[in-house]
């Protein structure tokens, strides 16, 4: 337990972005389920606003804006059943730790490129990574989840029990229905892969982007290719980078990229065959970090989904606007969809973005309060210019405080389903934050996915049983 008077308080309260300087009254590090139960009872008794924190990577700082932080980072176990290709993983396990453990078994589940991100928040927002085109979003690989409700009771959520909660936590975001304690995943065989990095000068980026849309998203290339595109500055020049992995041989990967390698200006920056663990660590930091920013910077970014191909003229306009950024640490990022992501039926879980070409975001960093105002104004202006190309939705794992109508942006018509499930599992609204699912109210639409009939199925549990 950490209080404001403790010497380690300021280190304990700080999340990954320096932008969010919040002073909670209490931070508690939980190691077992019973610790979480005591925290919930304490918060309820003292009328504290409590928020769960697993990795502290909320891009809007939502994992610390409260009276009491319930930190799950010490619940970081990874228990693997290699024969069954399953793993039970604690809510606070980071992907650096998860990937290292699974590497020893030559097994894999989709995870993000950033190793500091922890499981609970990542999965509940969907969870995109390099291998998602082959294996789906992280939440699509969930078998079951153990969740503690506000009253301290524990429930199992799966396809067979508490099915509505299982639907909701896969994309409905964290701190809405209960505390995710641990999750069981199906795993996939994955060992050596090819990692690559391409670079184009900014003036050649539009042609490459048109080709990517045509043959490297929902059409053309095999699911084994995963990548992201980053428009940013390297060594003082705006460039377009492509960083990715291919589950197969180097020769197969090079063949898959053949039409891109024929585009003017391309350079092969990274070319390596190694384990997924090693490749994932290397390709976003070599030969230069992505993004290449100073220490102790602050960040803001806005996500937007694109459902239709853009023209060469469109991409030239977007690249020209990017080049006008006053911020030397701007980046425009593309995360391609297609493959297994889009094969999952829209509405099969609360991650609804199944009919898109790509998720994109524009972000920037600053060091001083004087830089923040003009940089964020440019971000807003850029998104206004970019909006006509987008479908009106945003990726809920990249929340922004200024997001307009977040419920529609993240969940569309399925928000009413989350409201109904929230009303069932958290009827008093204990779990809340600025972009939380609301309780039922007048004028709410009927849910597209109604709650499962009947009472909540709770697990037998006593102190010490975890």
> What pLDDT is attached to residue 463?
60
Give the residue carrying structure tokens 């993000």. 112
pLDDT in tens, the chain (466 residues): 988 898 888 888 877 667 777 788 899 999 999 999 999 999 999 999 999 999 877 776 777 777 899 999 999 999 999 999 999 999 999 999 999 999 999 999 999 998 999 999 999 999 999 999 999 999 999 999 999 999 999 999 999 999 999 999 999 999 999 999 999 999 999 999 999 999 999 999 999 999 999 999 999 899 999 999 999 999 889 999 999 999 999 999 999 999 999 999 999 999 999 999 999 999 988 888 898 888 888 999 999 999 999 999 999 999 999 999 999 999 999 999 999 999 999 999 999 999 999 999 999 999 999 999 999 999 999 999 999 999 999 999 999 989 989 999 999 999 999 999 999 999 999 999 889 999 886 456 778 888 888 899 999 865 655 6
Q: Which CA distances in Å does 369 have to 140, 363, 373, 380, 382? A: 40, 17, 7, 17, 20
Backbone phi and psi for residue 415, each to the nearest 5 degrees, phi listed first: -60, -40
Q: Give the list of residues 6+ apart from residue 345 with CB closer than 8 angstroms, or none.
A: 354
Q: What is the pTM for the complete model shown?
A: 0.94
Question: pLDDT by residue (tens digit) across 247-303?
Answer: 999 999 999 999 999 999 999 999 999 999 999 999 988 888 898 888 888 999 999
Q: Determine how many CB atoms are found less than 10 A away from the CB of residue 460.
A: 6
Backbone phi and psi for residue 168, each to the nearest 5 degrees, phi listed first: -70, -40
Angle CA 285–289–290, to nearest 5: 100
H or E, element range at 372: helix 369-386
CA-CA distance, 280 to 112, in Å (whole number)? 9
In three-state form (DSSP H/G/I as H, E/B as E, the rest C), the secondary structure along 397-434 is CCCCCCCCCHHHHHHHHHHHHHHHHHHHHCCCCCCCCC
Q: Determine how many CB atoms are found less than 10 A away from the CB of residue 160.
A: 10
DSSP assignment of 4-73 equals TTSTTHHHHH--S-TT-----SEEEE--SHHHHHHHHHHHHHHT--EEEESS---TT-TTT-SSEEEE-T
- Residue 82 tokens, joined: 């290699």
Residue 219, judged by CB atoms within 10 A of its CB (0-12, 13-18, 19+), counts as: exposed
CATH architecture of 192-409: 3-Layer(aba) Sandwich (3.40)
Strands 26-29 and 68-71: parallel
Which region, left, alpha or beta, applies to residue 394 given φ > 0 means left and ψ of -120 to 50 means alpha? beta
Cβ atoms of 245 and 180 within 8 Å: the answer is no
> What pLDDT is attached to residue 450?
82
Q: 89, 183, 85, 100: which is closest to 140 by C-alpha?
A: 183
CA-CA distance, 178 to 155, in Å (whole number)? 9
> What pLDDT is attached to residue 161?
98
CA-CA distance, 237 to 316, in Å (whole number)? 17
Q: Under CATH, to which class is 9-71 assigned?
A: alpha beta
Q: Give the list of residues 6+ apart from residue 391 with CB closer than 8 angstroms, or none.
A: 304, 305, 306, 307, 308, 356
Q: 283, 306, 271, 275: which is closest to 230 by C-alpha?
A: 283
Positive/negative CA dihedral, 201, 256, 276, 88: positive
CA-CA distance, 276 to 194, in Å (whole number)? 8
Task: Map out the domains of the chain as residue ranges.
Answer: 9-71, 192-409
Cβ atoms of 286 and 383 within 8 Å: the answer is no
Residue 389, judged by CB atoms within 10 A of its CB (0-12, 13-18, 19+), counts as: middle
CA dihedral 384, 385, 389, 391 (to 10 degrees): 0
Cβ atoms of 244 and 196 within 8 Å: the answer is yes
Give the residue carrying structure tokens 């694109």. 306
């Amino acid at each position: 337990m950490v209080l404001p008077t403790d010497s380690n308080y300021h280190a304990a309260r700080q999340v990954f972005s320096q932008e969010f300087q919040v002073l909670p009254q209490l931070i508690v590090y939980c190691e077992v389920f019973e610790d979480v139960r005591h925290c919930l009872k304490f918060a309820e008794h003292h009328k504290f606003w409590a928020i769960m924190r697993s990795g502290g990577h909320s891009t809007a700082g939502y994992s610390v804006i409260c009276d009491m932080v319930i930190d799950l980072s010490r619940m970081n176990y990874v228990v693997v059943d290699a024969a069954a290709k399953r793993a039970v993983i604690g809510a606070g396990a980071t992907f650096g730790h998860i990937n290292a453990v699974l590497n020893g078994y030559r097994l894999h589940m989709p995870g993000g490129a950033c190793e500091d991100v922890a499981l609970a928040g990542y999965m509940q927002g969907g969870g995109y990574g390099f291998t998602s085109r082959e294996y789906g979003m992280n939440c699509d690989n969930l078998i079951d989840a153990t969740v503690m409700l506000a009253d301290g009771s524990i429930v199992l959520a799966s396809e067979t029990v508490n099915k509505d909660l299982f639907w909701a936590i896969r994309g409905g975001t964290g701190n809405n229905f209960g505390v995710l304690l641990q999750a069981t995943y199906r795993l996939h065989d994955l060992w050596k892969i090819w990692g690559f990095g391409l670079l184009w000068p900014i003036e050649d980026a539009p042609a490459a982007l048109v080709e990517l849309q045509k043959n490297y998203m929902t059409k053309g290339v095999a699911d084994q290719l995963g990548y992201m595109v980053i428009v940013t500055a390297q060594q003082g020049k705006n460039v377009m980078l492509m960083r990715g992995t291919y589950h197969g041989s180097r020769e197969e990967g090079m063949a898959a990229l053949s039409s891109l390698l024929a585009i003017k200006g391309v350079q092969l920056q990274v070319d390596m065959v190694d384990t997924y663990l090693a490749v994932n660590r290397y390709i976003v930091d070599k030969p230069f970090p992505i993004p290449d920013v100073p220490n102790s910077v602050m960040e803001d970014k806005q996500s937007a989904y694109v459902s239709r191909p853009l023209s060469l003229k469109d991409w030239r306009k977007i690249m020209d606007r990017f080049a006008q950024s006053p911020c030397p640490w701007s980046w425009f990022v593309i995360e391609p969809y297609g493959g297994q992501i889009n094969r999952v039926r829209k509405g099969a879980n609360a991650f609804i973005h199944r009919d898109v070409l790509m998720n994109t975001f524009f972000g920037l960093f600053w060091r001083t309060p004087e830089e923040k105002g003009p940089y964020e104004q440019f971000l807003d202006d850029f998104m206004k210019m970019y909006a006509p190309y987008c479908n009106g939705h945003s990726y809920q794992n990249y929340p922004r405080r200024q997001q307009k109508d977040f419920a529609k942006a993240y969940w569309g018509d399925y928000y009413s389903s989350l409201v109904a499930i929230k009303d069932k599992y958290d009827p008093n609204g204990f779990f809340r934050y600025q972009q939380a699912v609301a309780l039922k109210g007048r004028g709410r639409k009927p849910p597209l996915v109604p709650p499962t009939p009947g009472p909540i199925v709770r697990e037998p549990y006593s102190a010490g049983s975890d």
